[in-house]
Structure 1
Amino acid sequence: MTPPDSPADPAPFWKTKRLGQMTPAEWESLCDGCGRCCLLKFYEPEEDRYLFTDVACRLLDLETCRCSSYATRQSIVKDCIKLTPRNIRRLRWVPPTCAYRLVAEGRDLYWWHPLVSGDPETVHAAGISARGRIVSETGVPEEALEERIVAWPSERP
């Protein structure tokens, strides 16, 4: 219980700061480690939508759902797109559960987000992450990718 003369806990940074005001550490901490953004996807122009596969970028660690070469990923994977406060609103393929997208839309983080729960495993325990549902692109021939289209990465819980 908070004593009557103590100030209330301040609101978390993602509720009080605009994206461009966040420190690099705050921005990076918004990533919940779900791995959904690292899944290979197709753009379907007739429907104007993106389709996700259950195939992950070769740099994604399938167990941790984190990039194995985060600092150098863009020099290794030429089409890797770095999420920034400037581009997050334009990237329509960003999964609906993504904290970057949620905050950009003025919404709050889900209970399972590590910044809310205090535990980086809750994103996995809640079944939000890609853990256990994906394969690496190193084991899938390019011509088989369309057969690997799945709906769950674009769904909300």
Structure 2
Amino acid sequence: MTSTDPSTPYWKTKRLNEMTNAEWEALCDGCGLCCLNKLEDWETGEVMFTSVACRLLDGESCRCKDYPGRQSIVPDCIQLTPDQVDEIGWLPPSCGYRLVHEGRDLYWWHPLVSGDPDTVHQAGISAQGRTVSEEHVSVEDFEDYLCDWPLTVAGNAP
């Protein structure tokens, strides 16, 4: 996975575990989909997305309101690492971490490709404007918020 061409983007030349912290963090496209609450069917193991977002997700910017302190505020917040990408089956198909891990390229709307952090929203990939905070929904009602839009990859044309 190495290239001698200096113009080749790092995500095409490095494995996830070879990236610097800054490179790793930049792979996040800012979609906010991993911050949606998910429900797992105990019998089948199927994971279903809800439109109920973590209380720390800003529903407009799709960014965490307290990224450095998120795990102390939300103890079940998962800090994604290169070793976990293969183990977390619910990562959306559009996720930059998942794409790079699978040897695929980033989509045109990814900020590393487009140069614009808003293209993920313009392409309709993000959770922007589609969520309700978990602060306003009882856990018992999460099933009323099931959605499948995080599993689609709209806007994938070049």
TM-score of the pair, normalised by structure 1: 0.92
One-letter amino acid of the structure 2 residue matched with residue 64 of structure 1: S
Runs of 4+ with deviation above 2 angstroms: 45-48
Counterparts of 2:6 and 2:13 in 1: how far apart (Å)? 13
Unmatched tracts of structure 2, length 5 or more: none
Counterparts of 1:147 and 1:117 in 2: how far apart (Å)? 35
- For each residue in 1:95-130, what CA deviation from the matched residue of structure 2 results, as whole angstroms up to 9, or x when unmatched? 111000110111100000000000000000111000
Counterparts of 2:54 and 2:45 in 1: how far apart (Å)? 23
Return the index of the structure with the highest Cα Rg: 1
Aligned Cα RMSD in Å? 1.4
2:93 to 80, 92, 96: 96
Matching residue of 1:27: 24
Matching residue of 2:47: 50
2:75 to 75, 78, 81: 78
Cα 1:92–1:31 shift into 2, 3 Å = same
- For each residue in 1:10-51, what CA deviation from the matched residue of structure 2 results, as whole angstroms up to 9, or x when unmatched? 110000001111000000000000000000001113333210
Cα 1:88–1:123 shift into 2, 3 Å = same
Matching residue of 1:18: 15
One-letter amino acid of the structure 2 residue matched with residue 56 of structure 1: A
- Percent of residue pairs bearing the same amino acid type: 61
Matching residue of 1:5: none
Matching residue of 1:61: 58
2:131 to 118, 128, 134: 134
Aligned-residue offset at 1:142? 1.5
Give secondary structure in 1 for the equivalent of 2:43. coil
1:153 to 137, 150, 155: 150
Give secondary structure in 2 for the equivalent of 1:92. coil
Unmatched tracts of structure 1, length 5 or more: 1-7
